[in-house]
Amino acid sequence: MDKVKIGTCWLDGCSGCHMSLLDIDEGIVAVLQKADIVFGPLVDADEWPEGVDVAVIEGAVSSQDDLKLARTARERSKVVVALGDCAVTGNVPAMRNGIPTRKLLERVYVEGATAQPGIPTDGVPALLKQAEPLHAAVKVDVHVPGCPPKPNAILFVLGELLEGRTPDLDSKLRFG
Amino acid sequence: MTEKVKVRIDGEVIAATAGQTILEVARANDKYIPALCYMEGLSAVGACRLCMVEVAGVARLLPACTTPVQEGLSVNTTSPQLHSYRKIALELLLVERNHTCAVCVSSGHCELQSLAQEHGVTHVRYPYNYPKLGVDTTHPRYVLDHNRCILCSRCVRTCAEIEGAHVWDVAGRGIQSRLVSELQRPWGEATSCTSCGKCVQACPTGAMAEKGWGVEEMTKRRTVVSRLSSMREGM
């Protein structure tokens, strides 16, 4: 039987959810016996490949690049998992949402700058008006709240998905 | 003389006193009905809509905290329909303001957070409102974060009914409603505030907290208000 293909990515997040994914310790061996990680910060691949079975996405959708990657991942994957509070609720990245983008960037990069004040434009994607949870941008199949989700929760979710089942997280996890 | 009545809660026949509410009778008999704005010892206002129950012969749902029992009343406290409505109520509370659990002093000790978990809210199906709200840090010992306030009014009732100071009120209407101290004066300048802190203990979320705590560190003494109230009964 072919191995299950897992892709991961982190949008507007702190990488904490990926740290928690690594924190499943020896559980990663069991996962990798049944699956290959074909895209993500943990592996070397330039583009989200076609035919991915499980997309694990950390972070809120906050910039043009986030939106593009989220859409590509959705199009090319069977199951999309929103991993962690930023992807599920917007969380900390969404705390900027009450402030207009222009004002926010000026406050940080002009008023707040001690050297070379100016809003960066080269090599950085434009911010969206608001940072939104993943399901505001694309259809999400499994929501895994937590900041970050506990390693055993991630292992449970991956284990169920690798067995072809939809993980039942009802009342198992909380926000924060 | 108090009149005794017989009611049925989830099929079980229970003896109650006329004038007691459905919620009081249920809790006295170890029957669980979720609630956020209700606090034992305070007047009931029926604001949060989590304690809605089905009453036989009544077409609409009724709030258990404000509905008095009467002879022969038959109540259902759980059903798929009630569960789905309670879930909706919790989700709407979560989208109204900025409940960022990950950076909240009350995370892990929050009634809204734990009720959301209990009801299987793994995500919120409605668009978030993202209002721009302030944090009042003017009081030397306590802080009020409007981002986390659900307008349950437990603080308002605690201050008015238990402390007798009535510093707090709710101003504005609808989505613009805000908790205010002394007719919009900052909390630290409210001359009628006795700094007793009972409002902080009564608050179900991280909207009111003691200063100096980090994320997940603010635990509240939930029983303080109910205990004070019960000691005054019969006076």
- CA separation, residue A151 to residues A80, A159, A164, B104, B127 (Å): 18, 12, 20, 21, 29
Examine the pLDDT at A138 and tell me if it is beyond 70: yes
* Confidence (pLDDT) at A170: 87
- Taking residues A150-175, report their average pLDDT: 95
In angstroms, the CA A172 to CA A145 distance is: 10
Examine the pLDDT at B1 and tell me if it is beyond 80: no
* Confidence (pLDDT) at B235: 56
Q: How many CB atoms lie within 10 A of CB B12?
A: 9
Note whether A139 contacts B: Cβ–Cβ < 8 A: no
Examine the pLDDT at B41 and tell me if it is beyond 80: yes
A41 φ, ψ (degrees, to nearest 5): -65, -20
In angstroms, the CA A161 to CA A54 distance is: 8
CB–CB of A70/A60 below 8 Å? no
In angstroms, the CA B83 to CA B81 distance is: 5
- B123: nearest CA partner in chain A: A88
B14 φ, ψ (degrees, to nearest 5): -130, 140
Examine the pLDDT at A1 and tell me if it is beyond 80: no
- CA separation, residue B134 to residues A173, B141, B155 (Å): 29, 17, 18
Averaged confidence pLDDT in chain B: 96
Note whether B103 contacts A: Cβ–Cβ < 8 A: yes
Note whether A169 contacts B: Cβ–Cβ < 8 A: yes
Per-residue pLDDT band for A135 (boundaries 50, 70, 90) equals very high
With a threshold of 0.85, tell me whether the complex ipTM lies above it: yes
Examine the pLDDT at B234 and tell me if it is beyond 70: no
Examine the pLDDT at B232 and tell me if it is beyond 60: yes
**Hey, what domains does chain B have and what are their CATH numbers?**
4-78 (3.10.20.740), 101-232 (3.30.70.20)
Q: How many CB atoms lie within 10 A of CB B71?
A: 11
- Taking residues A113-119, report their average pLDDT: 93
Which residues contact residue B117 at a Cβ distance below 8 angstroms, ignoring those fewer than 6 apart?
Answer: A171, A173, A174, A175
Contact (CB<8Å) B113/A133: no
Q: What is the DSSP letter of A60?
A: B
* Confidence (pLDDT) at B2: 80
* Confidence (pLDDT) at A2: 86
CB-CB neighbors (< 8 A) of B118 in chain A:
171
CB-CB neighbors (< 8 A) of A85 in chain B:
101-102
For domain A4-96+128-162, the CATH class is: alpha beta
Examine the pLDDT at A43 and tell me if it is beyond 70: yes
Share of chain B above pLDDT 70, in %: 99
CB–CB of B191/B165 below 8 Å? no
- A142: nearest CA partner in chain B: B122
In angstroms, the CA A39 to CA A159 distance is: 19
Give the pair of three-digit tokens for residue A86.
Answer: 């930023």
- A68-86 in b/e form (b: 16+ CB < 10 A) is ebbebbbebbebbbbbbbb
The size of the A-B interface in CB pairs under 8 A is: 74
* Confidence (pLDDT) at B233: 77
In angstroms, the CA B77 to CA B79 distance is: 7
* Confidence (pLDDT) at A171: 87
Contact (CB<8Å) A174/B114: yes
Contact (CB<8Å) A173/B122: yes
Of B113, B119, B123, the CB nearest to A143: B123
At A54-78, the pLDDT tens digits run 999 999 999 999 999 999 999 999 9
Of A95, A130, A169, the CB nearest to B122: A169
At B96-130, the pLDDT tens digits run 999 999 999 999 999 999 999 999 999 999 999 99
At B124-171, the pLDDT tens digits run 999 999 999 999 999 999 999 999 999 999 999 999 999 999 999 999
